[in-house]
Amino acid sequence: MTIYSPKLIEEYVLETISRVRVIKEQCENLLSKDFASQAPKNLAQTHINICHYLETAIKSIYKDIDWKNIKKIESSFILLQTTDSIIREFGSHIRYIDGAQTQKVPWGLISPLEKYLKRFLSDVEILFRPQWKYNYAIIPTNLYEYYSKTLSSYETHVKNKNLSEILKPLKKYFYIVSFPSIERENILLHCLLGHEIGHLEAKTYISSRNKEFLKLIQDKIADVVNQRIKKPEFKNVPEEIMPQIKQEITQAYLKETSEIWERGLEEILSDIVGSFLFGPAILFSNLEIALQDLNGLDITPGKDNNYYPPWRMRLRNIYQVQRDLKLFPLQKKAFQSKPIYNNVSKGFKLVENIIQEKSDEQMLKSNDLLKIAYEEIENDLVNAKRLILIKLSELFLLLNPDSFYKNLSHLIEKIDFGVPPNPYENSISKRKPAAIVEIINAAWFYKLSWKYRLFDKKNQFNENIFSKRERMNRLALKAIEYADMEKDYSDWSSEKNRKPS
């Protein structure tokens, strides 16, 4: 019996269809669960549609097998195997839906966060989900495009179903953004999701600049190569093969410099987008993540770290955005509490002291390829920042220092009194829900204003600080949820009153 016997292929088809139906059942079951947004349900319904589509394709492929022609049997079986591979791959995507259930994500945060980010990227749908790996990350693959390309080859086998209808539940741009599951309730770090969204904007800019970048560095790379081949290691190389060696070195240097430029620019641009969207909070969040890096603030970009830019440089660019927006120095008049003003100012001063050191820049200048790449990154950041600024301004998303600081002190005091900082109000008739950005920054400023020591005079851990941190997280998360509900009701009420009776 060969591998292409009808019996074996029939059994394989049965198992493949069984896998499809298990995925479909899992998605149908997940549709009955509670989710904080529509995105997971849209993905679940899409997978149900895909399962129907692929089951039809499998049956069609099997029915069309010409059992008298061994080559056609072989090609049909390979197609069935490919389809099974796709099914198994798509099945792994169910973890995104399962992880996005309400009890697994920061309650009350997802919907307001989606609404805020959609103002920046209106045609993009994001599914937020936790992951066990400690990392805030975006999967750069657009799932709509990925599913569409993968399934398009089956259109000849499924003639009565339109692929656009199969994928209709998804927006044309659908991405997965992950956060560390152990940070689910840590409101202070969730503004880093703004950085992950920034990757989409950064990639768009980089793709428009790739060809121009390669043109700009040609002569600089040629100079580096010419200096390299003058070294003793090339002294005994035969003259006739030197052009080939020179070309190989040039191509390798161009490739590596391009990777350095692309990765560095992408990360820093993503930081800048997040900084514009979330203000000072993302500066302190990035500092906290930077402290976790065993390689320090001046990590050298290389293959072993995917050409990651130095943290000191990243913090410097985030800080500069806050200066550009005039969010720092702090507006002293906006803070009713002098200790809060002083302690938050100290937090900014701490970052200032870190970024004033230029050890990262000296490190980058010590390597020819890093120097070339980061000189271009510096030029690109000026242009890209200007474009981002224009876009945010047109969308009315730029943080205004006067309005930003106007009520922040009031929200900080609410947290201190154990009250969710969702509205600012002088009276019940003059009440307005706070924005998600204001609440997250109020939480950060509240934490920065603490004057308690982590260990007391007896060198005992201060449990009160831990409890205070937990309470702050709960209050801020609840505030974001309440403020979003209040705004939705206010918008609905205003719309209702505008309609003629």
Q: pLDDT at residue 149 above 70? A: yes
> What gap in Å lies between CA 18 and CA 174, rounded to an integer?
28
* Lowest mean per-residue pLDDT among 197-206, 230-239, 378-387: 230-239
CB atoms within 10 A of CB 16: 22
Mean pLDDT computed over 169-179: 97
Residue 439 binned pLDDT confidence (cut-offs 50, 70, 90)? very high
Q: pLDDT at residue 310 above 80? A: yes
Mean pLDDT computed over 181-187: 96
334: tokens are 């906006």
pLDDT, tens only, 441-475: 999 999 999 877 888 888 999 888 899 999 999 99
Angle made by CA atoms 439, 442, 446, in degrees to the nearest 5: 145
| pLDDT on residue 427 | 64
Share the mean pLDDT of the chain. 93
| pLDDT on residue 494 | 72
Residue 428 binned pLDDT confidence (cut-offs 50, 70, 90)? low
State the pTM of this model: 0.92
Q: pLDDT at residue 1 above 70? A: no
> What gap in Å lies between CA 242 and CA 4, rounded to an integer?
53
**243 or 282, higher pLDDT:** 282
pLDDT, tens only, 203-237: 999 999 999 999 999 999 999 999 998 888 888 88
> What gap in Å lies between CA 270 and CA 284, rounded to an integer?
16
Mean pLDDT computed over 8-23: 97
| pLDDT on residue 472 | 96
| pLDDT on residue 501 | 55
Mean pLDDT computed over 243-259: 94
pLDDT, tens only, 51-91: 999 999 999 999 999 998 999 999 999 999 999 999 999 99
Burial letters 459-496, b for 16+ CB under 10 A, else e: eeeeeeeeebeeebbebbbbbbbbbbebbeeeeeeeee
pLDDT, tens only, 405-424: 988 999 999 999 999 999 88
**137 or 229, higher pLDDT:** 137
Q: pLDDT at residue 429 above 90? A: no
Q: pLDDT at residue 295 above 90? A: yes
Residue 327 binned pLDDT confidence (cut-offs 50, 70, 90)? very high
| pLDDT on residue 500 | 60
328: tokens are 């720092």
Mean pLDDT computed over 364-393: 96
| pLDDT on residue 344 | 92
Which amino acid is present at 228?
R
Mean pLDDT computed over 317-336: 92
- The distance of Cα 379 from the centroid of its chain, to the nearest Å, equals 24
CA torsion angle for 450, 317, 403, 199 (degrees, to 10)?
Answer: -100
Q: pLDDT at residue 356 above 80? A: yes
| pLDDT on residue 2 | 64
Phi, psi for residue 407 in degrees, rounded to 5: -115, 5
130: tokens are 């936790």
Residue whose pair of structure tokens reads 């937990």 in the numeric block? 470
